[in-house]
Structure 1
Amino acid sequence: MARSAATPYLFILPAFLVYGAFALYPLGRAAQFSLFEWKGFGASTFVGLGNYVELAGDADFRAAIANALLLIVFYAVIPLVVGLVLAAVLRRGQVRGMGFFRTVIFLPQVIALVVVAVAWRQIYSPNGLLNDALRAVGLDVLTRGWLGDPGTALAAVGFIGTWVEMGLVMLLMLSGMSRIPGELFEAARLDGAGAVREFFAITLPAVRGEITVALVLTIIAALKTFDLIYMTTSGGPGNTTTVPSFEVYFRAFELREVGSASAVAIVLTALIFVINVGVSRIGERAS
């Protein structure tokens, strides 16, 4: 039986319809709303690109973008470095109980972020575990309300992101390293290569694909983070921890500025797309 050229597209049509209904259509509606001034009910006023022009001069929005970009360091860069090192050590050392260790490290990924946020909020509180530990070792001068201090709030939230994403990155790296032929490591050791040279000459080039995937996933997580911010700081103190996704919620449901909130959402979507396309292109060229 001859196969039509349209057959492959018919197989992916159901998935595309679901994707279109739950992703592309809402995105299109958000883009439409961003062109109006609307409170979420009643009449709306067409303002064209007015909402986007206002965002360009909005200090809170600029602060949210800057905070989101800084969170990429905590969500993506630090977990990538730590995950690579941990995976390389575990791969080289053949640690016993590897399955249990992987489960423990990956556990934050399967716990609801709301639960994670509540737990860490208690740890960071003035009478929480972190301050108790500092007092126990005589570092009382360092104790503070970590989430209420403008100088430490964003870093404190970012560290939670590091803790959550580190396990995912490590497992991706271990998966890539497990495909490296053992003969390569044996040959390198016979040539006198140490652990560091072995890592940069063999391990790192072999996991470039996994590095690209890890960066894409963690950067998306950093830019769209909402749960942690909402449950730990609600964007405060001031605007020191506000991020674009929180701005969408705040403008839409607190200020009743649905058009402005939709414009923030569209800008955030474009930012995520541009950054991750860039990361993917760099990864493809490197491999």
Structure 2
Amino acid sequence: VLIGLALASVLQRARVRGLGFFRTVVFLPQVVAMVVVAVAWRHIYAPDGPLNDVLRAVGLDGVARGWLGDYTFALPAVGVIGTWFETGLVTVLLLAGMSRIPRERYEAARLDGAGPFAEFFAVVLPAVRGEIAVAVTLTVIAALRTFDLVYITTSGGPGNSTSVPSYEVYHRAFELGQVGSAAAIGVCLTVLIFVITLGVNRLADRSTA
């Protein structure tokens, strides 16, 4: 969400020509099936993949590793994929909110001597709190219910280092035969998503009241 907010702010403030094209580019991951995304990133993260090739080319051989097979870096590596996938949606959502801010507010802030950062916190941030709440809700739900990304890239490994709730439901139900515990996790996950959604929406309503 923070990356999307920063990117949307830069694009909106710079008033880049062809903004529609940039919106299309950043939103592109959303129209690609997660299975395709996961396979592509699995290739990028492979020990002989493009990422390690670049690191070796710039003399960082010691940094190169099998990212998805490393206990320390597997979860952050999967997190990077999820962040890349969701950033476009968040950016487009926030850009839509920022485009509705009247120019008079920007002009008034500048007449008061506000710089870019003061303008952002005084004008932009209060105006897009509703969109931020929606973005937070969508990204949290996406993170909690991610299954195909984890299944294709790491299958919950190494060990259980990348096992997320939705994958744990599958693992217990179909691999361990523990249908009862899988159902319990599924119910808890549903309740958790509902509570988070309700909480974020309540906070957004209070901040805009």
Category of TM-score, reference length = shorter chain: over 0.9
| 1:18-50, Cα deviation, whole Å (9 max, x unpaired) | xxxxxxxxxxxxxxxxxxxxxxxxxxxxxxxxx
**CA root-mean-square deviation:** 0.8
Secondary structure in 2 matching 1:140: coil
Structure 1 partner of 2:157: 236
Residue 3 (structure 2) pairs with residue 85 (structure 1): no
Structure 2: where are the runs of 5+ without partners?
none
1:213-257 deviation per Cα after TM superposition (whole angstroms, max 9, x unaligned): 111111100000001100000000000000111111111111122
1:207 to 124, 128, 134: 128
By relative contact order (CA 8 Å, sep 6+), the higher-ranking structure is 1
Q: Distance in 2 between matches of 1:212 and 1:282?
A: 8
User: Counterparts in 2 of 1:104-115, with a 5 A limit?
Assistant: 104-115=25-36
- Separation in 2, partners of 1:259, 1:92: 52
Query: Is it true that 1:172 corresponds to 2:93 in the alignment?
Result: yes
Q: Does 1:253 align with 2:174?
A: yes
How many percent identity over aligned positions? 68
Given the two structures, how large is their TM-score scaled by the length of structure 1?
0.71
CA distance in 1, matches of 2:48, 2:112: 55
Q: How does 1:221-232 map to 2 (within 5 A)?
A: 221-232=142-153
User: For the residues of structure 2 that align with 1:245 and 1:274, how far apart are their CA atoms?
Assistant: 17
Partner of residue 141, structure 2: 220
Q: How many residues align?
A: 208
Q: How does 1:1-287 map to 2 (within 5 A)?
A: 80-287=1-208
Partner-residue secondary structure (3-state), 2:68 = coil
Structure 1 residues without counterparts, runs of 5 or longer? 1-79
Distance 2:52 2:130 in 1: 40
Q: Give 1:191 shift.
A: 2.0
| 1:142 alignment partner, SS class | coil
SS of match in other structure, 1:141: coil
The amino acid of 2:15's aligned partner reads Q
Structure of higher CA gyration radius: 1
**Counterpart secondary structure, 2:155:** coil
Deviations 1:169-197 (A, max 9, x none): 11111111111000111121122211111
